[in-house]
Structure 1
Amino acid sequence: MSTTPHREPGELFGPRATLFADVLSIGLATTLTCLPLITAPAALSTACAVLRGAANHEPTTAGRYFALLRQRLRPGDLAAGALALAATLLVIADLALAGAGLPGARLFATAATALTAVALTVALRACARPESLTDWRAALRAAATDTARDPAGSALVLLAVATAALCAWMMLPLALLTPGPLALALAGVARRRETAGTKGLKDGT
């Protein structure tokens, strides 16, 4: 990826267009890696790590994505994937029961939706944390703190998920590419949080 702010002589696309193309290629790579389902957390975490490196002018390519991914898929990564899959199936089952017309179903569905939104936000913010590359428990703890202390960032995460889902619903082939922009949004929210924290420390001193 070009690190210069302007287009070089003979270059067809500027650095922003190049980054956009890289994001789409990483999105496709992430989708393919997510197909076994239990690999989804590691796949999304790796995508966030690669895109987070763009701020330091590191390559944001599918090649670097797979190179970093080869270091993942440890037992902890697969356990995180199994837990995420089990939680997803539980939510689907609960919402199906709520839709069956049982007493108190509307209240239960509302509560289940709210809890699911919070859990999803924490899980996605954990994927964007650098700790997720080595320690999922530490990443989840930090993500839970970020979710509670940064409601605006959490809203941005849910908005990014809703946008990705809407794009996939409007045009099904886009579903193959949406993990890339979603990972970019997650990395951006995480960097926003880190920048705000650094600014707060400077202001405090």
Structure 2
Amino acid sequence: MRSLVHERREPGELFGPRFSLFADMLAVGLAATVASLPLITAPTALAAASAVLRRAIREDRPVTLGEYVAEFRAHGPLSSLLAGVTVFAALTLVVLDLTLARAGLPGARPVSWALTALAAMGVVLALRAAADPEAARGWRPALRRAATRSVADPAGCALIAAAVGLCVAFLWMLPLLAPLLPGPLAFAITAVELRTEPPSDEG
């Protein structure tokens, strides 16, 4: 894909389409943060953010709040809750296992490293599933497709892991950025998925 956004600036326009996309990304990040406040809705909030950013990139048009709300509702409340509960239950289990592994038990260090690697792979897989354009039709098929893409595209997994690491670093350096971070993260995983898709017919 030659470019995620076509450069087209009207006469007298101060900022080009790339700046508009950047502003949309931050606005979507704020919307996703609000939608994630119940915590268990976080996976769906990120999936909706990825969906609207995908359309904004593909169709070169701005994002609206109504579009984000519609996309969030399209994933369905029940499946959203189940996905959120599953994610947080898995994270809780990993944290507990890491705590026990670091409690001075024999073999604690290799177990800790193994669990950390497992958690990282799980996060990348979940993010790729959230970026699936068909995630609204079901999380299980989206996870299966994400696993297939991860095997076929390990470089994409590395890029997503790097994006997560950068978000964590930004959060550590400046916690005030937290409400905006879901936007850049959704944009990153969406860009990773789009780079392996065939270009649109628009040129």
The answer to whether TM tops 0.5 is yes
Looking at structure 2, the residues matched to 178 and 155 of structure 1 have their Cα atoms a distance apart, in angstroms, of 19
Q: Is the 8 A contact 1:25 1:61 kept in 2?
A: no
Q: Please point out which of 91, 96, 100 is paired with 2:94.
A: 91
User: What are structure 2's unaligned runs of at least 5 residues?
Assistant: none
Quote the residue 1:16 is aligned against: 18
Mean Cα deviation higher: 92-101 or 36-45? 92-101
Whether 1:28 and 2:51 are equivalent positions in the alignment is no
Looking at structure 2, the residues matched to 159 and 111 of structure 1 have their Cα atoms a distance apart, in angstroms, of 19
The structure-2 alpha-carbon separation of the partners of 1:151 and 1:21, relative to structure 1 and needing over 3 Å to count, comes to same
Looking at structure 2, the residues matched to 115 and 147 of structure 1 have their Cα atoms a distance apart, in angstroms, of 14
TM-score (norm: length of structure 1): 0.89
Q: How many residues align?
A: 195
**How do 1:4-153 and structure 2 match up within 5 A?**
5-54=7-56, 55-153=58-156
TM-score (norm: length of structure 2): 0.90
By how many angstroms is 1:7 displaced? 2.4
RMSD between aligned alpha carbons? Answer: 1.8
Read off the aligned partner of 2:9 and give its amino acid letter: R
Looking at structure 1, the residues matched to 181 and 48 of structure 2 have their Cα atoms a distance apart, in angstroms, of 15
By how many angstroms is 1:75 displaced? 1.1
Looking at structure 2, the residues matched to 25 and 193 of structure 1 have their Cα atoms a distance apart, in angstroms, of 26
Looking at structure 2, the residues matched to 99 and 151 of structure 1 have their Cα atoms a distance apart, in angstroms, of 30
Quote the residue 1:202 is aligned against: none
By how many angstroms is 1:49 displaced? 0.3
User: What are structure 1's unaligned runs of at least 5 residues?
Assistant: 199-205
Q: Is the 8 A contact 2:6 2:60 kept in 1?
A: no
Looking at structure 2, the residues matched to 87 and 58 of structure 1 have their Cα atoms a distance apart, in angstroms, of 37
